[in-house]
Amino acid sequence: MPPLRGHRLFVVICIKQRYPGHAKQALALAAQCHAGAYIGRYVVVVDDDIDPSNINDVIWAMATRSDPVESIDIMRRCWSGPLDPVIPMDRKGHNSKVLIEATRPYERLKDFPIAVDVSKELASL
């Protein structure tokens, strides 16, 4: 979970993709394990070249490696709790989760454009 306020609501996992569908499976598992299931709202999976603790890297992966139509799923009526601030009092107990696949498409791992970055020295100018 990135070091954010409300971090329990936003979970990022990092994987090295091994087979087609691996990222989707990892998302589903992370969304339903105890730590990811309780009150969680957003689950993002990134490739192993992304630092999951760096929110800037995660947002970059979401912006450049996901297609909203293909990469985002919504799970409804998931486990929530009484501390979930957005759920009305009469509906406590359930919420929805967004699963975001922010990985390179498995079938394009070999030819997907590489991530380009600048050195720390240049970035600090």
pLDDT in tens, 60-114: 999 999 999 999 999 998 888 888 888 888 878 888 999 999 999 999 988 998 7
Stated length of the chain: 125
| Tokens, residue 8 | 């329990």
- Distance of alpha carbon 76 from alpha carbon 78, whole angstroms: 6
Residue 15, amino acid: I
At residue 72, the pLDDT reads: 97
pLDDT one-digit tens code per residue, 29-41: 999 888 777 888 8
Band (pLDDT 50/70/90 cuts) for residue 1 is: low
At residue 94, the pLDDT reads: 86
Asked whether the beta carbons of 100 and 28 are under 8 A apart, the reply is: no
Q: What is the dihedral of CA 30, 31, 36, 39, to 10 degrees?
A: 180
Q: Is 72 helix (H, G, I), strand (E, B) or coil?
A: strand
At residue 69, the pLDDT reads: 96
Band (pLDDT 50/70/90 cuts) for residue 125 is: confident
Does domain 7-123 correspond to CATH entry 3.40.1670.10? Answer: yes
Answer yes or no: is pLDDT of 115 > 80. no
Asked whether the beta carbons of 75 and 31 are under 8 A apart, the reply is: yes
Q: Which residues make beta-bridge pairs with 45?
A: 13, 101
Residue 17, amino acid: Q
**Cα 118 to chain center, whole Å?**
24
